[in-house]
A and B are shown apart, each in its own frame.
Chain A
């Protein structure tokens, strides 16, 4: 299991569409302030990875993020995107190449969903047909039905839907880099969890370089390949994988920032898709119950998973329940415990505990059933993660406040 952690942080090189970002000795001094808000940060953000910026309020997370797309101009230092030094190029040009997502989506209320998404492509001179095609593709990507939502105005969307459109808009021109400032700060916890899962799924497909500011450490653990913990003045307290930060916080500051329950937080480190799932006997509505029962008995399984024509789970009857049936019912059981394969083990455990089944059904692409996750698997995964975290990490990207960029190591 120890290779899972490294696989996650190194990613799949072939499909990476992101570009690395390098901050070299970047400082921001606001006029009239003695201490710099960001003090000589040198930070490598590896291509195709998600880096979370966390730290106490006012420590300089937003300032650091906005210096990457130069919404805030650095006082000193260089910013390198891929191999290109972008410190002095035209800021508007740069920003058209970098996706930017803010809290609550920041959609323009007087433009429809399609018009919002079309802004950057239009600025880049795409023709109408291409823009339209791209809009459809992006709405699909963020799980919004294009025909239903294309012509709606933002006020006709829920907060979570607005945030999805915000992400679609940022991805419109397929930028290699996505910057997000507390993107899920304004939605309720359940919607937030869904949006996080969605982002994980999208990132799994696209492999952009994503930098996210958050004040929610659990979110950082869940989404991040790497986490930067900042102190006042954007001094880097620790820059490491979530596993290592949880297992070996660099100092008391980081430790107090993680807060209590580090052990449980480790459940947020691993996704359902990373663990071994158990198989299950499946049946479709209308099938003979006796036949399904026989197959379950032959396989030694206590339950049968009923799936619809697109393989989405409907219910999960026990053998005893099947004995009382003649044919498999069509009705969906809302109490069926279901988690997406992008969900964390933490989410999966929640689902199991709520449903008291001791296991949950796992769904993959388009909600299709892929397997069963059990409490035992979750527990084994926790122990494995703890063991893996104490292994030495090679190829960690550089993050320091020394203004000398020569200190940087490999490109991760």
Chain B
């Protein structure tokens, strides 16, 4: 009975919210299909045929995604707990300083960051150098949104929880974090898109990924290789953004 009463008002906005998501994924798939058809029908040079075949493209996409996934996992593992910590009682006073550092990380030019890390004698080369740079670059949105999300939780709810005898961790995990989820997820999505885009720079330091097509294209004046690399990176970013939106939609706590 309760559902019957609630559903007419609830369902309509839900359905409306799904529509742009469907449009987005259809557009991405259409663009990807167009790219594939163009590659299959175009009159490719031998160099192009070597780089633009299905096997090597898939391999590059795989590398690119792997950079993104590993970067994301590390960003989450660092930024979420740090963000939570910086909203807890006495740690709160460090929040401003840490945010400033994170801001600096994102404001620094990504290429500079990557090259700098690769050049530093005590840091690794290639894949892990790229990962370090990506993490520094993409930590801010997750860290910032975690803090903003938790701070945005109505203090009276926190007090209600404490007033009922919930322990401090119980209030964090059962009240503050669930209510902060929408804001946090939008930070994660932003970070993901940043990571996909920035991972294209990993090829500068032998980190692999779709950036390889772009560097090859530039170096050898192969326009089609360059365009394919750029387009694939963009489509991948859009696809990840779409996936992020779907997750945000599904993971949003009910009742909000």
Interface residues of A (CB under 8 A from B): 69, 71, 92-97, 100, 102-104, 106-112, 119-120, 123, 147-156, 169-170, 179
In the complex, A109 Cα to B253 Cα: how many Å? Answer: 9
Q: Quick check: is B43 within 8 A (CB to CB) of the other chain?
A: no
Task: Decide if A110 touches B253 in the complex (CB within 8 Å).
Answer: yes
Q: Is the CB of A120 within 8 A of B179?
A: no
Chain B contact residues: helix, strand, loop or mixed = helix
* Contact (A103, B156) CB under 8 Å given A153-B255, A156-B6: yes
Residue in contact with B179 in the complex, picked from A100, A109, A119, CB distance below 8 Å: A109
Is A110 a contact partner of B179 (Cβ separation < 8 A)? yes
Residue among A97, A119, A151, A179 with the highest chain B CB neighbour number at 10 A: A119
Residues facing A in B110-126 (CB within 8 A) are: none
State which of B12-20, B97-105, B162-170 sits at the interface with chain A. Answer: B162-170
B91 close to A (CB within 8 Å): no
Q: Is the CB of B163 within 8 A of A71?
A: yes
With A95-B163, A152-B2 already in contact, 17 other A-B pairs whose C-beta atoms are closer than 8 Å: A71-B163, A95-B164, A95-B165, A96-B164, A100-B160, A102-B160, A106-B157, A107-B160, A108-B157, A108-B161, A108-B179, A109-B179, A109-B253, A120-B164, A147-B1, A150-B2, A156-B255
Are B163 and A102 in touch, CB under 8 angstroms? yes
B50, CB-defined interface residue at 8 Å: no
Taking the closest CB of chain A, its distance from the CB of B212, in whole angstroms, is 45
Q: A102-B160, A109-B179, A154-B255 are in contact. Are A120 and B165 (CB under 8 A)?
A: yes
Report the nearest A residue to B156, measured CB to CB. A106
Min CB distance B181 to A, Å, is: 9
CB pair A69–B163 under 8 Å, yes or no, is yes
Q: Taking the nearest CB of chain A, how far is it from the CB of B252, in angstroms?
A: 9
Check if B255 sits within 8 Å of A149, measured CB to CB.
Answer: no
With a CB–CB cut-off of 8 A, which chain B residues contact A69?
163
Please name 9 pairs of A and B residues whose Cβ atoms are closer than 8 Å in the assembled complex, sorted by A.
A100-B160, A100-B163, A107-B160, A108-B157, A110-B254, A111-B255, A112-B255, A153-B254, A169-B164
| Closest CB pairs A-B (n = 6) | A153-B255, A96-B165, A106-B160, A100-B163, A95-B165, A110-B253
Least CB separation from A66: chain B residue? B163
Interface string of B163-207 (1 = CB under 8 A from A): 111110010000100110000000000000000000000000000
> A123 and B6: CB pair below 8 A?
no
Say whether, besides A95-B165, A155-B255, A102 and B156 are in contact (CB < 8 Å): yes
Contact with A along B225-256 (1 / 0, CB 8 A): 00000000000000000000000000001111
> Are A100 and B255 in contact, with the CB atoms below 8 A?
no
The answer on a CB contact under 8 Å between B159 and A71 is yes
A170 to B163, CA, bound (A): 9
Chain A residues closer than 8 Å to B167, beta-carbon distance: 92
Residues of A within 8 A of B179 (CB): 108-110
Contacts of A111 in B (CB 8 A): 255
In this complex, which of B2, B3, B164 has the most chain A Cβ atoms within 10 angstroms of its Cβ?
B164
* Selected contact of A152 from candidates B6, B157, B159, B161, CB within 8 Å: B6
Within the complex, what minimum Cβ distance (angstroms) separates B89 from chain A? 13
Option from B159, B163, B175 in Cβ contact (under 8 Å) with A108: B175
Chain B residues near A108 (CB-CB < 8 A) = 157, 160-161, 175, 179
Are B3 and A151 neighbours in the complex by a CB distance under 8 Å? Answer: yes
CB-based contact A94/B255 at 8 Å:
no
User: How far is it, in angstroms, between the C-alpha of A150 and the C-alpha of B3 when the chains are bound?
Assistant: 11
* Binary flags per residue of B54-81, CB closer than 8 Å to A gives 1, else 0: 0000000000000000000000000000
Chain B: which residue is nearest A105 at the CB level?
A: B160
Kindly report which residue of chain B lies nearest to residue A69, judged by CB atoms.
B163
The smallest C-beta distance from A163 to any residue of chain B, in angstroms, reads 13
Separation of A97 and B165 alpha carbons in the complex (Å): 8
Q: Contacts of B160 on A, CB cut-off 8 Å?
A: 100, 102, 106-108
Minimum CB–CB distance from A178 to chain B (whole Å) comes to: 11
Write out the residue numbers on chain B whose beta carbons fall within 8 Å of the beta carbon of A100. Answer: 160, 163-164
Which residues on the B side are within 8 Å of A154 (C-beta)?
255
The reply to whether B3 and A119 form a contact with Cβ atoms under 8 Å apart is no
* Chain B residues, CB < 8 A from A95: 162-165
Which among A97, A120, A151 is the interface contact of B2 at CB below 8 angstroms?
A151
Give Cα distance in the complex from A106 to B6, angstroms: 21
Q: Which residues of A have CB within 8 Å of B5?
A: 148, 156
Q: A112 contacts which chain B residues (CB < 8 A)?
A: 255
Verify B253–A94 contact, CB threshold 8 A: no
Distance, CA A104 to CA B1, complexed state (A): 26
Q: Please give the distance in Å from A282's CB to the nearest CB on chain B.
A: 34
Q: Are A93 and B165 in contact (CB under 8 A)?
A: yes
- CB pair B157–A119 under 8 Å, yes or no, is no
Measured CA separation A248–B178 after assembly (Å): 52
Measured between alpha carbons, how far is A150 from B2 in the docked complex, in Å?
8
Given A71-B159, A106-B159; A148-B255 close (CB under 8 Å)? no
Contacts A95-B163, A95-B165, A119-B166; A110 near B256 (Cβ below 8 A): yes
State A112–B256 Cα separation when bound (angstroms): 11
Closest to B175 in A: A108
Q: Which residues of A contact B1 (CB under 8 A)?
A: 147-148
Q: Which residues of A contact B3 (CB under 8 A)?
A: 151
Cα distance A119–B163 in the bound complex, in angstroms? 12
Whether B178 and A110, one on each chain, are in contact in the complex, defined by CB atoms closer than 8 angstroms, is: yes
